[in-house]
């Protein structure tokens, strides 16, 4: 029997994802109409030996309960949310809930960072791990990155023949290796005694209520405190994969993830996507579609609209005549009025964009000319203090008047705009 743990952090994480995470926890932000971590859950449930999925984070349970019950009903396996009382780090939560993870004696469990997206090769990773022999404690999914980009990830020096990790450095300050940690692992429950040693050594250092770091005594960092010391012991392995993988840190990476999940759905479940033969899943839409496009069955799209490629339209949206949408995500109940153009943008829940408007952003895709390039999750501002051009994001319940242009801008929720904006954050 196998289990899976999905690490989702809490409200203080995911700051680069604002304003999209202001009205919905980032792990529940929809991509191709499904919350980010539903894609993780789907990959786990595709493995028949996975009997339980534990989602660990420190969001208030009320924000997760609806999603969890939906998932339980949909996938008919045990899915639970376990709330950390405070941020316990990437391993502290797993140690805190070790009894729940070990219950039923799973032969191994997967760990998936909730902020990555991929065609998760869980079966392949598990087979790889099992074939490394009884000493294998953890196997990491790895991919290659450019020399410069590798510095933003956990870097591993590995023996390409055996997959043994000889050296691991988390976000090194200078180049170590181009193989990076994808934040997806399989490991055995023998990792818990190691966590226990770390946990107890911290309790011995305990001097009063505050250990000086501002972190709880139970805070354990998976990467620095588990992976780093395990490297070179013959117990840590990595499986390099070449399939698509990306982090979801910024709103721009959501557009990139949307494109890739749409392509994955085209290959694995094309019936979920809109196409010109099927028009849409509810059959009532007859607009022109350039694949890949997802249109929620409850959305109303005018026959004269042209949608795609790489567009997701959420539940209850209304898309008017002559509207053109490309490379964008339109969230639930948004209204795009007639003849408006939406490019490289995310339109928030319940927002209304007037007729003949233009909402346009700049993509931040990986450089196609650089082998192994990943997305650059650029900060909002560059070194001159100016906004880096990126996709345009309209927060929830915003009104954009007719005939206005919104270019490379970010609009916070509940704003009523009255003019055009270019390269601005509208607070």
Ligand X SMILES: Nc1nc2c(ncn2[C@@H]2O[C@H](COP(=O)(O)OP(=O)(O)O[C@H]3O[C@H](CO)[C@@H](O)[C@H](O)[C@@H]3O)[C@@H](O)[C@H]2O)c(=O)[nH]1
Interacting residues toward ligand X by CB under 6 A:
7-9, 13, 56-58, 84, 87-90, 93, 113-116, 153-154, 170, 180-183, 223, 247
On whether the CB atoms of residues 87 and 58 are closer than 8 A, the answer is yes
| Least Cβ distance, residue 150 to ligand X (angstroms) | 9
| Least Cβ distance, residue 31 to ligand X (angstroms) | 15
Q: How far apart are CA 216 and CA 196, in angstroms?
A: 15
**Please, which residues have CB within 8 angstroms of residue 139's CB and are 6 or more apart in sequence?**
125, 128, 129, 132, 163, 185, 186, 187, 236, 237, 238, 239
Q: Which is nearer to ligand X, 179 or 421 (CB)?
A: 179
Q: Which is nearer to ligand X, 114 or 314 (CB)?
A: 114
Q: Which is nearer to ligand X, 113 or 312 (CB)?
A: 113
- The end-to-end CA distance of the chain, in Å, is 50
Residue 349 has φ and ψ, to the nearest 5°, of -50, 130
| Least Cβ distance, residue 56 to ligand X (angstroms) | 4
Q: Which is nearer to ligand X, 158 or 289 (CB)?
A: 158
Q: Which is nearer to ligand X, 126 or 153 (CB)?
A: 153
| Least Cβ distance, residue 87 to ligand X (angstroms) | 4
> Taking phi first (over 0 means left), then psi (-120 to 50 degrees means alpha), and beta for anything else, what does residue 48 get?
alpha
Q: How far apart are CA 146 and CA 77, in angstroms?
A: 39
| Least Cβ distance, residue 365 to ligand X (angstroms) | 18
| Least Cβ distance, residue 309 to ligand X (angstroms) | 26
Q: Which is nearer to ligand X, 236 or 347 (CB)?
A: 236
Alpha-carbon torsion 199, 201, 207, 210, what sign?
Answer: negative
> Quick one: which of 401, 404, 399 has its CA closest to 416?
399
Three-class DSSP category at 91: helix
Q: Which is nearer to ligand X, 7 or 319 (CB)?
A: 7
| Least Cβ distance, residue 248 to ligand X (angstroms) | 9
Q: How far apart are CA 57 and CA 93, in angstroms?
A: 8
On whether the CB atoms of residues 354 and 279 are closer than 8 A, the answer is no
Q: Which is nearer to ligand X, 177 or 295 (CB)?
A: 177
| Least Cβ distance, residue 84 to ligand X (angstroms) | 6
Alpha-carbon torsion 272, 249, 333, 323, what sign?
Answer: negative
| Least Cβ distance, residue 47 to ligand X (angstroms) | 20
Q: How far apart are CA 97 and CA 103, in angstroms?
A: 10
Q: How many Cβ atoms sit within 10 Å of the Cβ of residue 244?
A: 16
Q: How far apart are CA 364 and CA 344, in angstroms?
A: 9
Q: Which is nearer to ligand X, 142 or 333 (CB)?
A: 142
């Amino acid at each position: 029997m196998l289990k899976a743990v999905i690490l989702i952090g809490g409200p203080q994480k995911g700051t680069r994802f604002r304003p999209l995470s202001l009205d919905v926890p980032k792990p529940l932000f929809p991509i191709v109409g499904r919350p980010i971590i539903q894609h993780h859950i789907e990959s786990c449930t595709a493995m028949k030996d996975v009997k339980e999925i534990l989602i660990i984070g420190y969001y208030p349970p009320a924000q997760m309960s609806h999603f969890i019950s939906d998932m339980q009903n949909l996938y008919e396996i045990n899915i639970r949310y376990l709330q950390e009382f405070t941020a316990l780090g990437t391993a502290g939560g797993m140690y805190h809930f070790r009894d729940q993870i070990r219950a039923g004696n799973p032969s191994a469990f997967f760990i998936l960072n909730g902020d990555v997206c991929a065609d998760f090769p869980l079966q392949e990773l598990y087979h790889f791990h099992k074939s490394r022999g009884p000493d294998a404690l953890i196997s990491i999914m790895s991919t290659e990155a450019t020399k410069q980009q590798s510095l933003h990830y956990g870097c591993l020096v590995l023996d390409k023949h055996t997959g043994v990790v000889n050296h691991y450095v988390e976000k090194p300050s200078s180049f170590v290796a181009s193989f990076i940690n994808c934040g997806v692992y399989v490991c055995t429950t023998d990792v818990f005694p190691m966590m226990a040693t770390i946990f107890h050594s911290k309790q011995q250092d305990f001097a009063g209520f505050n250990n000086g770091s501002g972190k709880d005594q139970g805070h354990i960092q998976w990467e620095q405190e588990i992976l780093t010391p395990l490297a070179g012991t013959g117990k840590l392995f990595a499986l390099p994969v070449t399939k698509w993988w990306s982090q979801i840190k910024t709103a721009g990476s959501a557009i990139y993830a949307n494109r890739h999940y749409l392509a994955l759905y085209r290959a694995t479940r094309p019936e979920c996507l809109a196409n010109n033969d099927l028009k849409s899943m509810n059959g009532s839409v007859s607009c022109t579609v350039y694949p890949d496009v997802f249109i929620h069955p409850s959305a109303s799209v005018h026959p004269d609209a042209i949608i795609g490629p790489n567009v997701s339209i959420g539940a209850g949206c209304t898309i008017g005549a002559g509207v053109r949408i490309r490379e964008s995500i339109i969230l639930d109940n948004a209204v795009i009025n007639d003849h408006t153009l939406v490019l490289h943008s995310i339109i928030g829940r319940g927002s209304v964009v007037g007729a003949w408007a233009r909402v346009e952003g700049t993509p931040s895709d990986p450089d196609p000319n650089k082998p192994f390039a990943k997305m650059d999750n650029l900060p909002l501002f560059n070194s001159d203090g100016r906004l880096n051009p990126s996709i345009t994001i309209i927060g929830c319940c915003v009104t954009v008047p007719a005939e206005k242009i919104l270019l490379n801008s970010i609009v916070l929720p509940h704003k009523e705009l009255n003019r055009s904006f270019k390269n601005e954050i509208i607070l």
